[in-house]
Structure 1
Amino acid sequence: MPSIELRTEIKADIQLVFDLSRSIDLHKISTEHTKETAIAGITSGLIGLNESVTWRARHFGIYQTLISRITEFQSPVLFVDEMVSGVFSSFRHEHHFHNSDGVTIMTDVFNYRAPLGVLGVLADRLFLKKYMTELLEERNRIVKVFAESGRGKELLAGKTMNVSNFKRQ
């Protein structure tokens, strides 16, 4: 089973980083380029234990629907989302957080199985792992920008954000 592990250092309070990481609204901002939107379940605000969200997004030119559920939750150090249904055969995304000298270390461990058996394994080697890594890196970049700039507190307080200010340059 392929695995992606990313470590991001963020100069912000661990609780703020934890909450931004489970914010449906911030996720929509970080995936704006895929036109990702939450269409069922928790569609805005913070997602929590045993809650699910249905995402609709365009990947590789095709609109796809994915349902994920929070299966583990220990604020502010861990939450896990797992695919309930979607294009992958399976995925489990662990979000770990710890504080080190005033810096929050956010570690993502994303384990997944591509669909389509041998064809999926080939697709993973050719482009899927790189694509998924870049999606996660962009999400983490947005979490970092919002947490370190103070905009994260505004977002969590329900203030409207201009997505175009945070696009990759």
Structure 2
Amino acid sequence: MPIINHKQFIHAPVDVCFDLARNVDIHTETTAGTNEKAVGGVTEGLLEKGDTVTWEATHFGIRQRLTAKIIHMEKPTVFVDSMVKGAFRSFTHTHRFKEEEGGTIMTDTFEYKSPYGPLGILADKLFLEKYMTDFIVSRAKELKRIAEDGK
């Protein structure tokens, strides 16, 4: 099971970073490259523990839907979402926020299992793990930009 870890320092308070990361509207903005939008469950505003959201996006040229549920939340330091339905066999995405001098360290830990057994493992090695890493890093950089611009 691949595990992707990414840390991003953001020159903004921890509560601002936490709220931006769980904001459905901001998520849509930070994933514009895949035309991601919320089409079910909570479709705007801040996600809370127990909420579900269904995302529709284009990955690898294929329009896909994925439903995730917020399974854990400790404001403003951590929240965890887990796939309920979608293209992966499973995934858990932990978002951590730690106040540091001058800002916040945001840490994403994304653990997933690909479908299709050995073929999925091969896809991980050939392209999927890099694709998911790039996706998470890109979103973190966009969150940093938005937080630091004071949006």
TM range (shorter): over 0.9
Which residue type is aligned with residue 89 of structure 2? S
Question: Which residue identity lines up with residue 121 of structure 2 in the other structure?
Answer: V
Higher fraction of strand = 2
Q: TM-score, normalised by structure 1?
A: 0.88
Residue 102 of structure 1, CA deviation: 2.6
- Unpaired runs of 5+ residues, structure 1, are 152-169
Q: Aligned equivalents of 1:7 and 1:75: distance in 2?
A: 19
The match for 1:6 is 6
Normalised by the length of structure 2, the TM-score is 0.98
Tell whether 2:107 aligns with 1:91: no
The residue number in structure 2 matching 1:163 is none
Correspondence for 1:150: 150
SS of the aligned residue for 1:79 comes to: strand
**What are the Cα deviations for residues 19-71 of structure 1, in whole angstroms up to 9, with x where unaligned?**
00001111101111111110010001111100000011110111111000000
Q: Which runs of 4+ in 1 moved over 2 A?
A: none
Report the Cα distance in structure 2 between the residues aligned to 1:67 and 1:134, rounded to whole angstroms.
21
SS at structure 2 position matched to 1:57: strand
- Structure 2 stretches of 5 or more lacking a match? none
Q: For 2:23 and 2:121, locate their aligned partners in 1 and report how far apart those are by CA, in whole Å.
A: 31
1:164: which partner in 2?
none
Question: Who is 1:113 aligned against?
Answer: 113
Q: Which moved more, 1:7-16 or 1:97-106?
A: 97-106
> How many residues are paired up?
151
1:79 is matched with: 79
Please tell me the residue identity of whatever aligns with 1:10.
I
Q: Give the root-mean-square deviation of aligned CA atoms.
A: 0.6
Distance in 1 separating the partners of 2:125 and 2:111: 15
Local SS of the residue matching 1:76:
coil
